[in-house]
Amino acid sequence: MQNELDTKQALKVFNLVCEKGEKRDEHYFYQGLEAWHDFDGYTCYLKFNQATLTLYFHGKYNLDYADNGELESLFKKIANVAKG
């Protein structure tokens, strides 16, 4: 599968989830996405179903997913939430 990730868009969505989402413990929930960050804020996480995107400092990232369908769903969800 071709990598369709736009890290700037993902960070925008991360911020949206944290701003508009419901906070439970240290995690935020908004439109099916779950977002949280580590103690210093340099590592951010976005999760949808069984796919998790980890955003690191300087635009680096990691994707953890069970199958390509889960990854595609995460990318689509990020794009849809970014559109508003």
Model pLDDT, residue 2: 46
Rounded alpha-carbon distances, angstroms, from residue 42 to 23, 24, 35, 70: 19, 20, 13, 25
Local structure of residue 21 (DSSP, 8 states): S
Element (H, E) at 61: strand 61-64
pTM: 0.91
Domain boundaries, the chain: 1-64
pLDDT digit string (tens) for 11-61?
999 999 999 999 999 999 999 999 999 988 889 999 999 999 999 988 899
- Pairwise CA distance, residues 3 & 44, whole Å: 19
With vertex at residue 79, the alpha carbon angle to CA 69 and CA 15, rounded to the nearest 5 degrees, is 115
pLDDT digit string (tens) for 60-82?
999 999 999 999 999 999 999 99
Model pLDDT, residue 3: 59
Q: Which residue has the tokens 């240290």?
A: 26
